[in-house]
Amino acid sequence: MLTISQLASYAGVTVRAVRHYHAKGLLEEPARDHSGYRRYGAHDVVRLIRIRTLADAGVPLARVQTMLDAGPDAFAASVVEIDRRLQDEVRERQEHRRRIALLAAGDSLALPAEVAEFLARMRELGFHERVIEIERDSWILIAAQMPEAIPLLMDVKRIQIEDPDLRRLYLDIGEFAEGDLGDEAMSALVDRVLAFIQAAGARATELTDPEMVPVVSDDLIRLLDEAFVAAFPAAGRMLRMLEQRGWVGWTDIRWVGPGQG
């Protein structure tokens, strides 16, 4: 007959594990002998080894008792079910690893893959990091509110970014990423912004059916505009100059006429 320490050693577990299995009702706890010790026999060793084997295989302890007492067919069915569950967990962990790997790049956090690729392309083209950051944050807001619209919006953005005339706006705005501009330089930048808006509007009409363009809520537009103003020291001044020329807003910039802003 074995003591609890000897039993644990035979089965390759700890004494604490044996007591835990006792508490769970998986292993019967024998009565103490006249010396005050609990004594275990060969059947206890076999039972404990089977418990350990199932637990090591990932079987939840809540299922171990049922499987130990099951017949061959029921046991085999349980094994198949547990294997299927483990496969699901493996796939889930692999997906977690994939996402963690994407996060290493920083831009992939909370962003669809096509947006992360777009930001990488912006870096290749030499855009100022502040411009890329505000672009990233804007797409995080958009993806959170209207994820279904991302593919269509990104189709247009990818074409725009490859057009030398249209992508120049990003480079121009990068000029005041770190500070303000003089009046003449700011006025020239506003001229280029308006030229971009008009060209982009015409290009978007060519590329996309207007009825297919996703509708962005007013609240989201306000958030995007606030993010833009907060990111660039001179953004507020530029928007005021745009208003003087009859244009209001930024994300959804529109013509209202001189003096109407």
Domain 4-101 belongs in CATH node 3.40.50.2300: no
Written as six digits, the tokens of 150 are: 């991302």
Per-residue burial over 126-139, b if 16 or more Cβ lie within 10 Å, else e, is ebbeebbbbbbbbb
CA distance 116 to 46: 55
CA distance 159 to 204: 10
Phi-psi region of 115 (alpha: psi -120 to 50; beta: other; left: phi over 0): alpha
pLDDT above 90 (res 23): yes
Q: What is the pTM of this model?
A: 0.54
Q: Looking at residue 194, what is its pLDDT?
A: 86
Nearest 10 degrees: Cα torsion 69, 71, 74, 80 = 90
Q: Looking at residue 205, what is its pLDDT?
A: 53
DSSP assignment letter at 208: S
| Tens digit of each residue's pLDDT (9 = 90 or more) over 46-98 | 999 999 998 888 888 888 988 888 888 888 888 888 888 889 989 999 888 87
What angle separates helix 61-69 from helix 42-56, to the nearest 10 degrees? 130
Backbone angles phi, psi at 25, to 5 degrees: 80, 15
**pLDDT band, residue 9 (cuts 50/70/90):** very high
pLDDT: which is higher, 156 or 91: 91
> What ranges do the domains of the chain cover?
4-101, 106-255
Contact 229, 239 (CB under 8 A): yes
